[in-house]
Amino acid sequence: MYAFDFVRPKSLNEAVEALQPEEAMALGGGQTLIPTLKQRLASPSKLVSLKGVEEIRGICRDDQGRVCIGGGTTHAEVAAGVPEYPALAALAANIGDPAVRNRGTIGGSLANNDPSACYPAAALASGATIVTNTREIAADDYFEGMFMTALEEGEIITEVRFPVPQAANYQKFEQPASRFALVGVFVAKFEDGVRVAVTGASEEGVFRWTEAEEALSSNFSPDAVQGLSVPAEGMIGDLHGSPEYRAHLVGVMTRRAVAAAG
């Protein structure tokens, strides 16, 4: 990697300040950024580690009953810390391997918005709110395509607030090499309707499958989506699967998620 300065602020304000220079980058758990640096594909002048910022770490509940997860909370902490939202806990428990789960953070994952990552599906299907040091962003407004988000330069995800659905499930079909989602579908049933978010499949990144949402909102059963499919056009095609295969898996994983959600 190239040389850089390294700071480890203790507070959010210090972190925001440290991120002011244009070439500064925030470092969460480093599960994407560190390999990128090692390959010399990024050259920040300064890395601002968020590991020391205790105020953006931990899990609590707000007065609306939402699960509020600090941006610096690790996958392992989420896996063990959200018993009232088992689908979210299970998703976190199945990201990467123990080393990844003990370092990687929810804020880092959502800020990176890898098109094959798991958390974007959970945030979008749950209708979560992404809270930053400056504002609150609805998940529907947050994801803007592969590796693209509504975050501004230097903006830090401090918290993610998840409404807890009546029933939910995440089905991940793993890419055999990376074990990221080749296709991942998160289904969440709320009192006022069902939300379905798909990761891994689309060239536009995570997306909501509205056709399935409508069908499931009137009949929450695998049969309701049996005949539905997403078009292959716009799906990712690579070594691990054609667009047609990914489109097919979206249907299969959605049905399985609905069945498992019960």
Partner 1 sequence: MPKDHGIGAASKRREDVRFLTGTGNYTDDINLPRQLYVHFLRSDIAHGEIRHIDTSTAEGMPGVKRVFTGKDFEGVGGLPCGWQVTDRHGAPMQEPAHPVIAQGKVRHVGEILAAVVADSRERARDAAEAIEFDIAELPAVVDMKAALASDAPKVHEDLTSNLCYDWGFVEDNRDKVDEAIRTAAHVTTLELVNNRLVANPMEPRVAVGDYHRATDESTLYTTSQNPHVIRLLMGAFVLGIPEHKLRVVAPDVGGGFGSKIFHYAEEAFVTFAARQLGRPVKWTSTRSEAFMSDAHGRDHVTKIELALDADHNFTAIRTETHANMGAYLSTFAPSVPTWLHGTLMAGNYRTPAIYVNVKAVFTNTVPVDAYRGAGRPEATYQLERVIDKAARELGVDPVELRRKNFVTEFPYATPVAVEYDTGDYNATMDKLAEIADFAGFEARRKESEARGKLRGLGVNCYIEACGIAPSNLVGQLGARAGLYDAATVRVNATGSISVMVGAHSHGQGHETSFPQVIAEMLGIDESQVDIVHGDTSKIPFGMGTYGSRSIAVCGSAMVRATEKVIAKAKKIAAHLLEASEADIELKDGQFTVAGTDKSVAWGDVTLAAYVPHNYPLEDIEPGLEETAFYDPANFTFPAGAYACEVEVDPETGKVTIERFAAADDFGNVINPMIVDGQVHGGLAQGIGQALLENCAYDANGQLVSASYMDYAMPRADDVPFYAVDHSCQTPCTHNPLGVKGCGEAGAIGSPPSVVNAVIDALHSGGHKVAHIDMPLTPSRVWAAMQG
Angle at which helices 119-126 and 86-93 pack, to 10 degrees?
170
CB 237, min distance to partner 1, A: 10
Nearer to partner 1, 88 or 253 (CB): 253
Amino acid at 231: P
For position 9 contacting partner 1 by CB under 8 A, the verdict is no
DSSP designation for 164: P
User: Which residue of 27, 212, 249, 257 would you call a contact of partner 1, by CB under 8 A?
Assistant: 249
Nearer to partner 1, 131 or 236 (CB): 236
Does residue 252 touch partner 1 according to CB under 8 A? yes
Residue 192 engages partner 1 in binding (rule: CB under 8 A) = no
- 102 to each of 51, 56, 76, how far by Cα in Å? 12, 16, 5
Distance separating alpha carbons of residues 56 and 49, to the nearest angstrom? 12
List the end-to-end C-alpha distance of the chain, in Å, as a whole number: 48
Amino acid letter, 189:
K
Q: How many chain residues are in contact with partner 1, going by CB under 8 A? A: 15
Among residue numbers 14 through 53, which ones bind partner 1 (CB under 8 A)? 39-40
The least CB distance from residue 66 to partner 1, in Å, is 34
Among 11, 178, 219, 226, binds partner 1 (CB under 8 A): 178
Taking CB under 8 A as the rule, does residue 64 contact partner 1? no
**For partner 1, which is the closer residue by CB, 50 or 247?**
247
Q: Is residue 220 at the binding interface for partner 1, with CB under 8 A as the rule?
A: no
Pairing relationship of beta strands 24-27 and 5-7 according to DSSP bridges: unpaired
**DSSP structure string for 179-227:** -SEEEEEEEEEETTEEEEEEESSBTT-SEE-HHHHHHHHH--SGGGGTT
Instruction: Please tell me the distance from the alpha carbon of residue 54 to that of residue 11, in angstroms, as a whole number.
Output: 7
Nearer to partner 1, 178 or 219 (CB): 178
> Applying CB under 8 A, which part among 16-24, 73-81, 135-143, 245-253 lies near partner 1?
245-253
Rounded to 5 degrees, what are φ and ψ at 25? -135, 145
Nearer to partner 1, 57 or 255 (CB): 255
**The residue count for the chain:** 262
**Shortest Cβ distance from residue 250 to partner 1 (Å)?**
12
If you ran DSSP here, which 8-state letter would residue 28 be given? S
Q: Would you say 51 or 240 has its CB closer to partner 1?
A: 240
Q: Residues in the site for partner 1, rule: CB under 8 A?
A: 39-40, 173, 176-178, 182, 239-242, 245, 248-249, 252
